[in-house]
Amino acid sequence: MKITFNWLKDHLDTNLKEDKLLEQLTNIGLEVERVENISSDLDLFKIAKIVKTEKHPNADRLKVCDVFVGEKEIKKVICGAPNAREGLITIYAPPGAVIPKTKSKLVVAKIRNVTSYGMLCSESELNLSDESDGIIELSTKKFKKNIGKSYFFKNNSNLIDLSITPNRPDCLGVKGIARDLAASGFGKLKSFKEKKIKSKNNQTIKVKISKEKNQGCSSFGSCLITNVKNIESPKWLKDKLVSIGQKPISAIVDITNYVMFDLNRPLHAYDADKIEKGIIIRNSKSGEEFTALDNKIYKLNEGMCVISDNKGVLGLGGIIGGTRSGTELNTKNILLESAYFKPRSIRRTSKELNLDTDAKFRFERGIDPLSIEEGLNKAALLIKEICGGEISKIDVQKIEKDKTKTVKFNTSLFEKITGFKISTKEMVKILEDLGFKIKKEKKNLRITIPTWRPDISQEIDIVEELVRITGYDKIKIVDPIKERTKSTLTQPQKFFHFLQRAIASKGYLETITWSFTDANYNDYFKDKNKEIKIINPISSDLGVLRNSIFSNLILYMSKNLDRGAKDLSIFEIGPVFIGSNPGEQKTVVGGLSAGKRSRLSWIEKERNVDVFDAKRDVVQTLVEAGYNSDKFFIDSETPNYYHPGKSGRLILNENKDQLAAYFGEIHPNIIKKIDIKTDSLIGFEIFVDNFKLSKKSLNDQKTKFEVSDYQKSERDFAFIINKDVKAQDLINAISSIDQKLISNIKVFDVYEGENIPENQKSIAISVTIQSSEKTLNDNDLENINNSIIKTVENKTGAKIRS
């Protein structure tokens, strides 16, 4: 909502300054978004006379004009307007001026090698009208004495742009804002004796609101004005509209706009001669069409509130009028409409047609139903004053009775909610200043709510009014008590934060990417999940919810490689979606690593990152999080976006129902399709929600501290075994022998090739044997040795390498 202090003063008596006004507006909840100094910009636009024109040496259609702007120095201005000619009085904008239409700032510029100092303006460039053919022609008679003076009326009032919250339709009119300010002690609301139409003429166009279900119009006021002459608005009216950034059009349109901005009372003017036999306000039929004032043809659905005549739809009530009955400069007879349309109906229609207008914005928030006649009176009298003609009596059709709302307000609620007190007397004063009517009862106030406040319906709304006007600065701070009765984080939340920092500590940069992603990328990683489409995505490449962290992560990995990163690890912890219902999401940590380790090192051998880097990061993280790696179960069943041979799955228990993680190389096909340029790309996913978190603390989960001081011995074994047997099977076989004696098993070599039969491999294992009860003698050790060899050979088909 745009206002000026000057306009406010039409309704408000005050000596206070503008800076105070700005502060007060914000303090009472009418937030000042922006203050624009229009007039100082417009001051630069001078009345000027063209004293000479020449053809531009390098362009046929351009002229080089010598312009007199009241100074000694004649300005050279290049102009393309066909009407630029010697002797013409027009408007000159110097370099530095901001052109209202384009908001661009003029600079001294060379146009085809001739320097132009400023510009001569058309009406359209100055937002005075749509006239853009040629520059403004001012009457020599009127303006010849004013050359060099500023064209625009000097206006010291800044344009103040307010952000009006949707609950305050009354403040979409200058008068409503003035009322609020006055209630808060900023000046005094002027009271006018409303001028009323005195006429003997009847309104002769018949208006009927059809009584049907979901009728969107409850009352319709109208007034017929005959024999008008629609002309250009007088300067005061034009200035008023220009001061709030509106473009003057013609007197009739300008007057209806003026009343709308002043009182928040939208009006509509019809060319009465174009209405065929009276007006009917009714629900539309499916498929009805009309051309609206925005020159678009709208096809209507059933049940939209239309203003119609015998021939069809004239306009959408409270939203937009139609071209068929629009007023023009030669309009003679006008029917002025002032009606009440229901917010719900307005909202539904505008949504369905995707149509947004100023009138819609206002009706949707709620117009004062009792302002119908006030608006008609004010506008009709102005039209008569400016355009002449005869005004009829006002006709108001109503199909619903006006209701008044009352609230019983227990005054003690104020302190209960705000924590401070004000007297009942103060309450009554504030509310009455805001237009409420108060009847005092014992403990309560019986409050009648003004019709322009649709937002108020219960006691708490009254508290808000009172505290808002009293000032939020009166609320006393109560310092919080530092006391905790419940732990801040739950077990899963702690786990989340632990994993986040554990992964980062392994060299991964944490990223946050959109929860939505490109369907093409999602396809690569969605596995068995179904795609979840967003109905109205921000762009087609963010059209689906992600089924995996990888789709976005790999895209950003690729972008970073393009930016010049070579060896990079990034991760994200966040939601992936498995269905489109609330809760159908899982928390996943996804990490990607690209490139090499020890690139260009003078001391270390460089190598590509590989599956065992990913495995280490996963295993180390889970061990740090408190899980025993001896109990991990690992196999190679992974989704199809991993390299089928170089990826693994980590499960926390033997029952295999706690899938903890996948790790491995990303499938080469995907790398190729996405066209990622890197030596190697590996990834992992940890499924945070799959972990059954123990209720016991980590401390309680620990066994008793026991160490053995008896001598330990390490024995090495090399087994020849079929290639497809897993190292894990050998380890499991050995550890099953005697957990009391075998304290550690480590694979230290894997070998295929020379001296090893085809399809077989050699695995070398070091086993640490130690008893907690005694020092083992040679005999004991020999027994265990034999047992290890026998068990491994029996269980896995391996052969000890001699």
489 interacts with other proteins by CB under 8 A = yes
- Draw the binding track, 589-628, toward other proteins (x: CB under 8 A; -: no contact): --------xx--xxxx------------------------
Q: What is the C-alpha to C-alpha distance for residues 143 and 581, in angstroms, rounded to an integer?
A: 71
Site for other proteins in 158-177 (CB under 8 A): 165-168
Query: What is the rounded distance in angstroms from the CA atom of residue 167 to the CA atom of residue 387?
Result: 37
Query: Under the criterion CB under 8 A, does residue 490 sit at the interface with other proteins?
Result: yes
Among 154, 208, 393, 559, binds other proteins (CB under 8 A): 559
Residue 546 engages other proteins in binding (rule: CB under 8 A): no
- Name the minimum Å distance from CB 570 to other proteins: 7
Q: Residue 64 and residue 80: Cα distance in Å, rounded? A: 9
Q: Kindly state the smallest distance separating residue 692's Cβ from other proteins, in Å.
A: 19
Collapsed DSSP state (helix, strand, coil) of residue 614: helix
**CA 425 – CA 279 distance, rounded (Å):** 50
Q: Which of residues 508-537 bind other proteins (CB under 8 A)?
A: 508-516, 532-537
Q: Which of residues 445-484 bind other proteins (CB under 8 A)?
A: 458, 460-461, 463-464, 467-468, 472-473, 475-484
CA angle 712, 717, 722 (to 5 degrees): 145
Point out which span in 93-101, 373-381, 581-589, 688-696 binds other proteins (CB under 8 A).
581-589
Closest distance between other proteins and the C-beta of residue 599, in Å? 8
Q: Check residue 106 and report its DSSP letter.
A: P
Q: Is 582 in the site for other proteins (CB under 8 A)?
A: yes
Contact 282, 270 (CB under 8 A): no
Q: Which pair of structure tokens corresponds to residue 747?
A: 């694979």
Q: Which amino acid is at 27?
A: N
Q: Report if residue 706 touches other proteins, rule: CB under 8 A.
A: no
Single out the residue of 154, 195, 344, 790 in contact with other proteins (rule: CB under 8 A): 344
562 binds other proteins (CB under 8 A): no
Q: How far is the CB of 726 from other proteins (least distance, A)?
A: 30
Shortest reach from residue 200's CB to other proteins, in Å? 42
Query: What one-character-per-residue DSSP string does 195-244 give?
Result: ----------S-EEE---TT-SEEEEEEEEEES----PPPHHHHHHHHHT
Q: Angle at which helices 459-470 and 424-433 pack, to 10 degrees?
A: 90
- DSSP for 140-200 reads HHHHGGGTTSBSSPP--PPEEEEE--TT-GGGGSHHHHHHHHHHTTSSEE-----------
Block residue for tokens 């009418």: 30
Query: How far apart are CB 611 and other proteins at their closest, in Å?
Result: 18
DSSP-derived secondary structure for 260-304: HHHHS---EEEEGGGS-S-EEEEEPPTT-EEEBTTS-EEE--TT-
List the structure tokens of 570.
Answer: 């990034």
Q: Which of 37, 210, 412, 580 binds other proteins (CB under 8 A)?
A: 580
User: Would you count residue 182 as binding other proteins (CB under 8 A)?
Assistant: no
Out of 280, 565, 623, 800, the residue judged to bind other proteins by CB under 8 A: 565
Least Å distance, CB 453 to other proteins, is 13
Least distance in Å: CB of 478 to other proteins?
4
Query: Is the Cβ of residue 100 or residue 574 nearer to other proteins in the bound state?
Result: 574
> Least CB distance from residue 236 to other proteins, whole Å?
33
Q: Which of 88, 197, 445, 570 binds other proteins (CB under 8 A)?
A: 570
Closer to other proteins by Cβ: residue 79 or 359: 359
275 HSE (CA, 13 A, CB side): 28
Residue 563 interacts with other proteins (CB under 8 A)? yes
Return the range that interacts with other proteins (CB under 8 A); candidates 308-316, 340-348, 368-376, 648-656.
340-348
Q: Taking the chain, what is the end-to-end CA distance rounded to the nearest angstrom?
A: 92
